[in-house]
Amino acid sequence: MCGIFACHHHPDVAAFKPKALQLAKLIRHRGPDWSGNFVKNNSIIAHERLAIVGLDSGAQPLTNEDESIALGVNGEVYNHVVIRHQICNNYKYKTASDCEVIIPLYEKFDIDCPNYLDGMFAFVLYDAKKDRMIAARDPIGVTSLYMGRSSSSPGTTYYASEMKSLAEVCDEIITFPPGHVYDSKTDKLTRYFKPSWWDNTRIPTTPIDYSAIRTTLETAVRKRLMSEVPYGVLLSGGLDSSLIASIAARETAKAQAMDAATAQDSLTGVDEFGNLSGGATSWPRLHSFAIGLPGAPDLIAARKVADFIGTVHHEHTFTLQEGLDALSDVIYHLETYDVTTIRASTPMYLLSRKIKAMGVKMVLSGEGSDEIFGGYLYFGAAPSKEAFHEETISRVKNLHLSDCLRANKSTCAWGLEARVPFLDKSFLELVLNIDPAEKMITKDRIEKYILRKAFDTTDEPDVEPYLPEEILWRQKEQFSDGVGYSWIDCLKDSAEKFVSDEDFAAPKAQWGDDVPTTKEAYWYRCMFDELFPTKTCADTVMRWIPKSDWGCAEDPSGRAVKSHVAAL
């Protein structure tokens, strides 16, 4: 990941440049490898780079031949080779960066250019000849982006990878909507991402195809191994991260089985699906990373998976006090006061620091599966397949405000990039068009049954199992539960100490209708307000809302759901 700060139509951009660079510096943690900026007319793009692909020549902002177009990108474009050689093969490329293809795509397709990208991204592009700035965000919002305005300069627009870079200069900030493109020429946000599943009232009827689920997810993992730096996998021991780790281990082993010359050609070339299949790394085996309190369920399960799939496994533990000490920093990086997100992000934040210290810059993660497959335990109370489907689509559409936000910002806090194969466009198109009756949790079907079944090789004697059976069929654990149940208990107990009954009964007037419903939520809101004191900042936050009519408890812990079984 990288960090972007940009401004268009500033009344005095030369005088503003020092301030712009200071605001970009606030997100240097996202891109500690290099800083760059581009200034022309009344606009500026500042960029903080994390180098993953095109290490030697991909410094940003990127520009076209006459430097009339400048581009700042945060993310990865997995199909850039196809774009270079098939769609925009007449363009004079300056670098090996996967992101440079956005410039010729813009020249050829204007604001429709994001439709041609397969990846996770947020970008700002300035066309000096037209004095025009466009910005776009990937379809699901894996990569973060904010947009702001200031009443003191109504014609100016600001953009940044994190809200903190806009807080000082903007009195209106929005979370840039995923799958949208903004055009300064029209001053409009337009949704470019229009998949067949977007309308949640259209209930799909496509029958299940287990083979397609398996092959499409394998392809999604393969393309995300595009890297010129050491990479790894986050491994909680749950179904989702374990499957991603298993597939990644197989793909890495295939690459390492080749001789050096063949491996280099294959890994940096185009595979049969038109994507880069990966990049050479300095490690002969895949590394996996897990975190938890000593003896945590996730650590035990992750160790079983790592032994089974053959990764070099790294197990990190943290103490309750270390978790508590990190809370303020976690909230600073997350820019939220949502209870669920903070609980789960704290261990991920601590683990990311350990991973980066080992020289790793990219990891694969398992976010998105629970939303796509209806894997949260409360889905077991869905009254109908129609309601089940509508809830899955709603959750997918809001991932940028919850799990994607957590995965992106917890890792980027330490200059680590997280990639999420479950949110691949092709995988979403396949799975979200399956008849939701196939996904429902019943007496005979555990949550995410069809995903588990797709990777169950019991009836395939010639295929090596992907996972141990007890992991493949392990019940869902919230990540914040799996790292150790005492973590959530500690947070609740600490909130009781920090928030008095009198304070809790008298919420602050500036909170309006957004009133914390637990002392833990109250505590986090107070920490957020200390870091980001304006209502403008708070307005960018969305709290997780329980599905109470399905028996989903206010407390998001999986233990609050009746069907939860505290067993591995």
Identified catalytic residue from 2, 7, 113, 537:
2
CA distances from 316 to 284, 300, 413 (A): 22, 12, 18
- CA–CA separation, 494 and 208 (whole Å): 47
Residue type, 165: S
**For residue 218, with 0-12 CB atoms within 10 Å meaning exposed, 13-18 middle and 19 or more buried, which class applies?**
buried
Residue 2 bears catalytic tag: yes
Exposed e or buried b for every residue in 469-497, given b needs 16+ CB within 10 A?
eebbebbbbbbbbbbbbebbebbeebbee
| DSSP, residue by residue, 261-329 | HHHHHHHTSB-TTSSB-----S-SS-EEEEEESTT-HHHHHHHHHHHHHT-EEEEEE--HHHHHHHHHH
Q: What's the CA gap between 264 and 258, in Å, rounded?
A: 9
- DSSP one-letter string for 179-197: TEEEETTTTEEEE----TT
Of residues 31, 36, 26, 28, the one with CA closest to residue 60: 36
What is the DSSP track for 89-127?
A: TTS------GGGGHHHHHHHHGGGGGGG--EEEEEEEEE
Do residues 557 and 478 make contact, with C-beta atoms less than 8 angstroms apart?
Answer: yes
Tell me the three state secondary structure of residue 155.
strand
Which is it for the CA torsion 427, 428, 434, 440, positive or negative? positive
Q: How far is CA 302 from CA 2, 39, 234, 342, 463, in A?
A: 29, 48, 10, 22, 22
Q: Which residue has the tokens 């991204």?
A: 121
Kindly give the pairing relationship between strand 43-49 and strand 34-40: antiparallel
Q: Are 372 and 429 in contact (CB under 8 A)?
A: no
Q: What is the DSSP string of 394-413?
A: HHHHTGGGTHHHHHHHHHHT
> Which H or E run contains 233?
strand 231-234
Q: What is the DSSP letter of 177?
A: P
Cis status, amide bond into 61, omega within 30 of 0? yes
Q: How crowded is residue 411: how many other Cβ atoms within 10 Å of its Cβ?
A: 29
Q: Helix, strand, or coil here: 173?
A: strand
Closest by CA to 157, choosing from 289, 307, 9, 325, is 9
Catalytic positions, written as ranges:
2
